[in-house]
């Protein structure tokens, strides 16, 4: 449950109703402090499996577990009141069968209180989307560049860059819409393709490295805050250099400890003032 009880959280149907009305602003979060800071400004917060890379320093998203994802999602849910919260199903937790996907989606939602799940995969995963939706699990689909498919895709490469690939990704998106997905993440696809998919579908598209014409946008929060290292991905924009602020604060702290100016007596218990 959220720590706030007097505010109504954005629902999945409310997100869908924004199609053609206004843009959806979305970001990732994995921890309570970030979630609290983001909540007032966003329509949706995603606990992405990018937690593996951003939060744990892993080389890809493949090794994070369902239990880890659910724990991070629970922290975000407890710390927010407004944004719709969606949690990624990690690699290996849903691809085997619709039944496996439902069991693990139910576990993740029950453990975290999140509002829905996100799954990567093309048209081959549409039946799994249908299976979940028919059993009460809201599904945000994810097509185009799919990090969980990094090995079969040969790396993190833009998708839909020729006519055949673009048509396949369009059909992937259509298949998930027909299966009942409430929205589609379009990652790392050709701009014209993302625009075409957005115009074709009746459900919201959420772009990341896609098109300004998508119904919404999402970024990894650490990318837009300057916390992901020196290299900013092409699809991101750094809106602030929070890393520089943190480094400056840590430098001041370390210097204060070493020169004896911290802690002061005001920071101590039972100390008598001189």
| Rounded Cα gap, residues 30 and 87, in angstroms | 10
Long-range CB contacts (< 8 A, 24+ apart) of 197-204? 197/169, 197/170, 197/173, 200/170, 200/173, 200/174, 201/173, 201/174, 201/177, 202/19, 202/177, 203/16, 203/19, 203/177, 204/15, 204/16, 204/18, 204/19, 204/24
Check whether 50 is labelled as a binding-site residue.
Answer: yes
How many residues would you count in the chain?
Answer: 274
Catalytic residue among 134, 177, 187, 191: 187
Query: Pick from 44, 47, 48: which is nearest to 15 by CA?
Result: 44
88 assigned ligand-binding residue: yes
Question: Is 187 labeled as catalytic in the residue annotation?
Answer: yes
* 112 annotated ligand-binding residue: no
120 belongs to an annotated ligand binding site? yes
- 49 assigned binding-site residue: yes
Residues contributing to the annotated binding site for Mg(2+)? 49, 88, 120
Residues contributing to the annotated binding site for 3-methyl-2-oxobutanoate? 49-50, 88, 118
Catalytic annotation, residues: 187
Residues contributing to the annotated binding site? 49-50, 88, 118, 120
């Amino acid at each position: 449950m959220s720590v706030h009880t007097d505010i109504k959280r954005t629902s999945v149907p409310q997100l869908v109703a924004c199609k053609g009305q206004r843009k959806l602003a979305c970001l990732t979060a994995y921890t309570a402090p970030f979630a609290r800071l983001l909540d007032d400004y966003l329509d949706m917060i995603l606990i992405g499996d990018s937690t593996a890379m951003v939060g744990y320093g892993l080389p890809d998203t493949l090794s994070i577990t369902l239990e880890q994802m659910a724990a991070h999602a629970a922290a975000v849910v407890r710390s927010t009141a407004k944004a719709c919260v969606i949690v990624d199903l990690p690699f290996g937790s849903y691809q085997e069968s619709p039944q496996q996907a439902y069991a693990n989606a139910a576990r993740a939602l029950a453990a975290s209180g999140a509002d829905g799940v996100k799954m990567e995969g093309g048209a081959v995963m549409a039946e799994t989307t249908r299976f979940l939706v028919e059993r009460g699990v809201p599904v945000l689909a994810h097509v185009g560049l799919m990090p969980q498919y990094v090995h079969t895709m040969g790396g993190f490469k833009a998708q839909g860059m020729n006519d055949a690939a673009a048509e396949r990704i369009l059909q992937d998106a259509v298949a998930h819409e027909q299966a009942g997905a409430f929205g589609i993440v379009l990652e790392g696809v050709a701009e014209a393709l993302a625009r075409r998919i957005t115009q074709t579908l009746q459900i919201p598209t959420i772009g990341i490295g896609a098109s300004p014409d998508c119904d919404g946008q999402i970024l990894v929060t650490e990318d837009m805050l300057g916390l992901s290292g020196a290299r900013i991905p092409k699809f991101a924009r750094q809106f602030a250099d929070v890393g520089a602020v943190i480094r400056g604060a840590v430098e001041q702290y370390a210097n204060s400890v070493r020169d004896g100016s911290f802690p002061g007596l005001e920071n101590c218990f039972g100390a008598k003032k001189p």
